[in-house]
């Protein structure tokens, strides 16, 4: 069994869907599970629909939804010709159900409504793709991932119930004929009480790993718009180099520090079962890309990760206490309660500094909370630069025209919080 994952960029238009079909045709005859994300930037657009709907503005929600619907209709028209009803009847029925939902009064918390609305992107994309592949007479089965991935009740960041999910997925796999191409959604699951939950933004890579783990798959391929894992994001750096082989450990570290090409939760389930992960280009499907697996060699070149929009928060006890266990536990519980992930931390006897992503909806409230116990100073608009397998030359290179506010080195990794002076 092979698991494939196609992200939003790969299916952003009809040409992308045709390209996906062509890639799958090359693997015909093999059992495949194909995990697909929402098309293009649909998830962002649906976030706006959810916000308007929840804020009690149904007219605005409907207008925003109609834009999403028109985008998908355009893709269907291109794939099917002018009459889309024959090929895509099921999608049109989904559109009607969504419209009916948006006309109903709001029920539940914002996060619950968010998951229900935002996950529609994946449901629609997989319905369109399955219908198109069926039109090409390919042996596809559209499957609702919510029947297979069981999560706890946390909305927007559902935690996988691995035991139940493994049982559900294995049971499903017994029921499908060999050679079937299962088309299913990334990023979503369902809690035991029947609520749709999402796994966190960009979580479709993780869904592919969940399927692979539960099916003891041979391997996973995530099809991207880059040739594989590079030693830096080509959006930021020229002259990037492809990394042909990557250890699980290095892949986890790169993804955790912010190399967005692989979702950080993806690697661990694969590493536990020694399942290889291929990162390949959907634009150049014959090229080998990167393979993540058990290798002895470290990264062949230093790798760079940039995270912009960072805020550095520094805390100082108001009393005469040091930054020791009691203060640390109070600080960590404040961050956990606010749902703020710490990207980097450093402490001295009487100060504690952390770098976090600047979420305007979370950080000001967290700072107010921290002020109850600490003197707080903060600095926004910063960059976090991580270099794996650094040397002084690489540090000097990234620090040109930057002021370094904080530096932290371990054996293999250096992290720098910098202010751009340019
Ligand atoms: N080290 C890296 N190597 C390759 N791509 C990277 C790296 N770090 C960040 N990226 C970015 O990851 C993008 C692909 O990931 P993503 O957009 O999340 O794909 P998808 O939406 O298909 O899941 C690339 O376009 C690239 O800009
Ligand atoms: N569509 C979801 C899940 C996802 O992983 O998408 P992508 O594979 O396009 O990053 C999101 O945008 O968050």
Distance from Cα 224 to the centre of ligand 1, integer Å: 7
210 & 327 share domain: no
Tell me how far apart the alpha carbons of residues 263 and 169 are, in angstroms, rounded to a whole number: 21
pLDDT by residue (tens digit) across 319-353? 777 777 878 888 999 999 999 999 999 988 878 99
Distance from Cα 260 to the centre of ligand 1, integer Å: 5
Q: Which residue has the higher pLDDT, 19 or 339?
A: 19
337 & 202 share domain: no
Nearest-ligand number for the alpha carbon of 304: 1
Is residue 352 in a domain? yes
Give the model's pLDDT for residue 25: 96
308 & 415 share domain: yes
What ligand 2 atom has the least distance to the C-alpha of 201?
Answer: 13
Is 325 buried (19+), middle (13-18) or exposed (0-12) by CB count in 10 A? Answer: exposed
213 & 308 share domain: no
Is residue 56 in a domain? yes
237 lines ligand 1 (CB under 6 A): no
193 & 318 share domain: no
Is residue 226 in a domain? no
**Nearest alpha-carbon partner for 254 in 231, 234, 279:** 231
Distance from Cα 372 to the centre of ligand 2, integer Å: 37
pLDDT surpasses 90 at 146: yes
Among residues 171, 199, 217, the one where a domain terminates is: 217
Going by the DSSP 8-state scheme, the letter that residue 160 receives in this structure is B
259 lines ligand 1 (CB under 6 A): yes
Is residue 276 in a domain? no
210 & 332 share domain: no
Torsion sign (Cα): 259, 262, 264, 270: negative
pLDDT tier at 276, thresholds 50, 70, 90: very high
- The CATH number of the domain where 85 resides is what? 3.40.1160.10
pLDDT surpasses 80 at 102: yes
Residue recorded with tokens 């890579």 = 205
Give the model's pLDDT for residue 76: 98
38 lines ligand 2 (CB under 6 A): yes
7 lines ligand 1 (CB under 6 A): yes
CB 335 within 8 A of CB 342: yes
Is residue 369 in a domain? yes
190 & 314 share domain: no
Is residue 294 in a domain? no
309 & 201 share domain: no
Is residue 339 in a domain? yes
- The CATH number of the domain where 378 resides is what? 3.30.2130.10
Collapsed DSSP state (helix, strand, coil) of residue 1: coil
Distance from Cα 14 to the centre of ligand 2, integer Å: 18
Q: Going along 104-213, which residue ranges are E strands?
A: 140-143, 150-151, 181-185, 188-191, 196-198
Tell me how far apart the alpha carbons of residues 32 and 47 are, in angstroms, rounded to a whole number: 30
Tell me how far apart the alpha carbons of residues 323 and 337 are, in angstroms, rounded to a whole number: 20
Give the model's pLDDT for residue 7: 98
CB 314 within 8 A of CB 382: no
Distance from Cα 202 to the centre of ligand 1, integer Å: 11
What ligand 1 atom has the least distance to the C-alpha of 229?
Answer: 3
Collapsed DSSP state (helix, strand, coil) of residue 226: coil
**Nearest alpha-carbon partner for 304 in 252, 240, 400:** 240
pLDDT by residue (tens digit) across 401-414? 999 999 999 999 99
Cβ count within 10 A of residue 97: 10
Spatial neighbors of 310 by CB under 8 A, at least 6 apart, are 343, 355, 356, 357, 358, 380, 382, 383, 384, 417
pLDDT tier at 378, thresholds 50, 70, 90: very high
pLDDT by residue (tens digit) across 163-176? 999 999 999 999 99
Give the model's pLDDT for residue 176: 93
**Nearest alpha-carbon partner for 385 in 306, 281, 272:** 306
Nearest-ligand number for the alpha carbon of 39: 2
Distance from Cα 392 to the centre of ligand 2, integer Å: 36
Per the structure, the complete domain to which residue 321 belongs is given by: 303-420
Residue range 73-82: mean pLDDT, rounded: 92
Sheet of 352-357, strands arranged across: 342-347, 352-357, 303-317, 374-388, 413-420, 402-409
CB 359 within 8 A of CB 342: no
Most confident of 61-75, 318-332, 347-361: 61-75
Give the model's pLDDT for residue 250: 94
Distance from Cα 78 to the centre of ligand 1, integer Å: 27
Residue range 286-293: mean pLDDT, rounded: 97
Tell me how far apart the alpha carbons of residues 414 and 385 are, in angstroms, rounded to a whole number: 8
What ipTM was predicted for this assembly?
0.98
pLDDT tier at 302, thresholds 50, 70, 90: very high
Is residue 328 in a domain? yes
Percent of the chain clearing pLDDT 70 (strictly above): 100
Among residues 173, 195, 217, the one where a domain terminates is: 217
Which of 50, 204, 224, when mutated, tests ligand 2's pocket best, judged by the most ligand atoms within 8 Å of its CB?
204
- The count of structural domains within the chain is 2
Among residues 159, 184, 217, the one where a domain terminates is: 217
346 lines ligand 1 (CB under 6 A): no
Percent of the chain clearing pLDDT 90 (strictly above): 91
193 & 332 share domain: no
327 & 182 share domain: no
9 lines ligand 1 (CB under 6 A): yes
Residue nearest to atom 3 of ligand 2 (CA): 202
7 & 140 share domain: yes
44 & 181 share domain: yes
**Nearest alpha-carbon partner for 205 in 274, 249, 270:** 270
Bridge pairing between strands 303-317 and 374-388: antiparallel
What ligand 2 atom has the least distance to the C-alpha of 206?
Answer: 5
Angle between helices 120-135 and 85-102 (to 10 degrees): 170
Tell me how far apart the alpha carbons of residues 234 and 396 are, in angstroms, rounded to a whole number: 20
Concatenate the DSSP letters of all residues of 231-288 into one string.
SS-TTT-SS--B-SEEEHHHHHHHHHHT-TTS-TTSHHHHHHTT-EEEEEESSSTTS-
Give the model's pLDDT for residue 198: 98
Give the model's pLDDT for residue 321: 77
Spatial neighbors of 396 by CB under 8 A, at least 6 apart, are none
264 lines ligand 2 (CB under 6 A): no
Average pLDDT, the chain: 95
């Amino acid at each position: 069994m092979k698991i494939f994952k196609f992200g939003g960029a790969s299916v952003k238009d009809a040409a992308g869907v045709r390209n996906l079909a062509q890639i799958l045709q090359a693997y015909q005859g093999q059992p495949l599970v194909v995990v697909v994300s929402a098309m293009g930037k649909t998830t962002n657009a649906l976030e706006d629909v959810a916000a308007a709907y929840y804020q009690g503005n149904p007219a605005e929600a409907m207008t925003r939804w109609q834009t999403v619907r028109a985008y998908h209709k355009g893709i269907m028209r291109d794939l099917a010709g002018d009459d889309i009803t024959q090929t895509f009847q099921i999608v049109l029925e989904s559109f009607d159900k969504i419209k009916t939902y948006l006309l109903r009064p709001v029920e539940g918390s914002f996060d619950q409504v968010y998951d229900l609305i935002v996950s529609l992107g994946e449901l629609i994309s997989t319905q369109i793709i399955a219908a198109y592949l069926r039109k090409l007479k390919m042996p596809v089965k559209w499957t609702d991932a919510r029947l297979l991935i069981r999560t706890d009740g946390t909305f927007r960041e559902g935690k996988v119930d691995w035991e139940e999910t493994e049982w559900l997925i294995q049971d499903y796999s017994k029921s499908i004929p060999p050679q079937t191409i299962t088309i299913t959604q990334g990023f979503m699951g369902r809690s035991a009480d029947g609520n749709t939950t999402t796994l966190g933004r960009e979580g479709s890579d993780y869904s592919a790993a969940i399927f692979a783990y539960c099916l003891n798959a041979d391997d996973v391929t995530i099809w991207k718009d880059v040739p594989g894992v590079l030693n830096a994001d080509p959006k930021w750096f020229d002259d990037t180099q492809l990394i042909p082989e990557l250890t699980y450990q290095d892949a986890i570290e790169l993804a955790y520090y912010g190399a967005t090409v692989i979702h950080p939760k993806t690697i661990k389930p694969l590493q536990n079962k020694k399942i290889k992960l291929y990162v390949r280009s959907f634009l150049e499907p014959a090229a080998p890309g990167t393979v993540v697996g058990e290798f002895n060699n470290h990264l062949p070149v230093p790798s760079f990760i940039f995270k912009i929009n960072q805020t550095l928060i520094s805390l100082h006890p108001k009393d005469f206490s040091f930054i020791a266990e009691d203060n640390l536990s109070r600080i960590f519980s404040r961050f956990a309660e606010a749902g703020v992930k710490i990207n980097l931390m450093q402490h001295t006897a009487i100060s504690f500094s952390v770098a976090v992503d600047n979420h305007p909806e979370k950080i000001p409230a967290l700072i107010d909370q921290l002020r109850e116990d600490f003197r707080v100073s903060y600095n926004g608009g910063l960059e976090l630069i991580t270099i794996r397998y650094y040397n002084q030359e690489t540090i000097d290179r990234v620090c040109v025209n930057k002021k370094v506010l904080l530096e932290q080195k371990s054996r293999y990794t250096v992290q720098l919080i910098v202010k751009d002076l340019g």
